[in-house]
Chain A
Amino acid sequence: MGYALNFNLIWRHFDKLWGGLLLSLELAVISIAIGIVIGLVLAVWYVSAGRVVRTIIAAYVEFIRNVPLILLVYLVFYGLPTVVDIAYSAPTSFVVTLSLYSGAYLVEVFRSGLEAVPRGQLDAGKAIGLTPWQRLLNVRLPTMLRITLPALSNTFISLFKDTSVASVISVPELTYGAQWINFNTFRIVEVYLVVTAMYLVTGYILLFALRLVERRFRAAR
C-alpha cells in the first residue's frame, strides 16, 4: 500500500521517450504523405472509372477499414515475407502498413471532396477553354483540397496516435519507449503519466497548428 511517485528514473531515460516521440511523428508524416498520394490517385481514378475498377478500389477501402490495424501490421511484417521474396526492417514495414491504411481512409475523404466541388466551377473552366487535365489540376484538385483539409488534419492526428501500434513489432516509437521504461525501471504509473501527457500535448499542438493552416486556406463559399 502507498505508492510514492518518483519521476527521477523517467527523466534519466527521457531520451527513450523523446526519441520515440520524434519517431512516432516521423512515421505518421511519411505514412500520410504516401497515403495522400494513394488516396488522390485512387479517388481521381474512382470517379472517372468503370464498374470493375470501382469495385476493386472499394474492396481495398472496405478491407482496410474493417480489419484491426494490429492485424495488418502483423500481416505485412510477419506474413508477407513468407510468400513474397522481400525483406524489410520493422519501421519500413510499419510505414508500408500505415500508408496503405491511411490511403484507404483518404480515398473516401478525397472522393467525397471531389463530389463536393461545385459543378459550376468545372463548367466555368470548360468555358474558358481549359483542357480536362488543366481542369483537374487547376480547378478540381485545389478546390477539393481546401474542402477536405479538416478531414485531412483529423486523419493525420489519428495516424499519429495509431503509430503506437508499431510497438508490437518493436519499432522504438513512443509507446515502445514507455514499455521499455515500464519493464526496466518499474516506475509504471509515472511513465504512463508522462507518455500520456506527451501524446496529449503533441496531439493538441498538431490540432491547433493544423486549424491555423485550415483557416488560412479555408474554401471560399
Chain B
Amino acid sequence: MLTQIAYALPFLAQGFALTLWVSLLVVVFSLIAGVIMGVGLVYGPVPLQWAVRIFSDTIRGIPILVLIFFAYYGLPAVGLHLPSFWAAVLALTLFKTAQVVEYFRGAVGSIPKGQSEAAMAIGLTFRQRLAYVIFPQAFRRFLPPWINGVTDAVKGSALVSLLGITDLMQAINQVIGRTYEAMPLYILGALIYFAVNYALSLASRRLERRFSFIRE
C-alpha cells in the first residue's frame, strides 16, 4: 500500500500544483473585480449600486457547482467556447468576486463617517479621501476575512475535478481508480487541503488580532 502511494506521489503533486494554480488565478481575478465592483457598490451612482447588488445577491444564491456546470456546458451554446480549465476559473471567480464585494463593503462601511467628513473638510478630493483616509484604514478590516476567504477558493477548486481537470481531487480519484486504496488516499488528500487552509485561517486570525487595536 505504501509503495503504491509513494509511486503516485509525483502525480498527486502535479494535481496539487494545479489546485494551487486555479486557486491563485481565482483569488487574483476576484480581488481585482471585487474591489472595482465594491467601489461601484459603495460610491457609484444608484443604478450601478443596484447592478452590483443584484450581481452579488444572485451569485451568492447559486451553488458553486451549478455555476461551474453553467459555465462549462452552457456558455458554448451561446457561442462562447471556453476550455474546461477557463470555464472553471471563470465560474469560481464569479463566486469569489461576490464574496470580495461583501468583504469590501463591510470593511469600508465600518470606517466611521467622521473620517470621510473630516477629510472633506480639509479639502481632499474624492480620490485623495479614498487613497489616504478610507482605504488605509479599511484595508486592516478587509485583510483578515479576505485571507480566511481564500480557503473557500481552495475548497471550491476541488469541484473543477468534475470537469475532468486533473487537480488534486481528480488526481486522488484517479490513483484510487488504479490502486483501490480509497481510504488512505482520501485521508492523504484531506490532510493536504487541511494543511493549506488551516495555515490560511491561522494567518487570518493572527492578522485580526494584530489589527484589533483599531476601534471605532
Contacts and interface: CB of A to CB of B under 8 A. Distances in A.
Interface residues of A, number: 39
Interface string A162-180: 1111011000000100110
A75 interface: yes
A53 B172 CA distance: 32
A204 B183 contact: no
Interface string A112-130: 0000000000000000000
Interface in B175-216: 176, 180, 182-183, 186-187, 189-190, 193-194, 197-198, 201
Q: Which of A70, A74, A175 has the most CB of B within 10 A?
A: A74
A164 B156 CA distance: 13
A192 B66 contact: yes
A7 to B, nearest CB: 14
Interface in A149-168: 161-165, 167-168
Interface in B151-179: 151, 154-159, 161-162, 169, 172-173, 176
Contact residues of A: prevailing secondary structure: helix
Contact of A63 (B77, B151, B161, B194): B194
B80 to A, nearest CB: 11
A80 B183 contact: yes
A164 B63 contact: yes
A204 B61 contact: yes
Contact of B79 (A3, A71, A165, A204): A3
Contacts of A86: none
A197 B190 CA distance: 33
A168 B61 CA distance: 20
A79 interface: yes
A175 B155 contact: no
B69 A192 contact: yes
A164 B66 contact: yes
Nearest to B201: A66
Contacts, number: 110
A189 B77 contact: yes
A162 B63 contact: yes
B78 interface: yes
A46 interface: no
B193 A67 contact: yes
A105 to B, nearest CB: 13
Interface of B: 58, 61-66, 69-70, 73-74, 77-79, 151, 154-159, 161-162, 169, 172-173, 176, 180, 182-183, 186-187, 189-190, 193-194, 197-198, 201
| CB-CB nearest 6 A-B residue pairs | A68-B158, A66-B197, A164-B63, A75-B186, A68-B155, A161-B63
Interface of A: 1, 3, 62-63, 65-72, 74-75, 78-80, 82-83, 161-165, 167-168, 175, 178-179, 182, 188-189, 192, 195-196, 199-200, 203-204
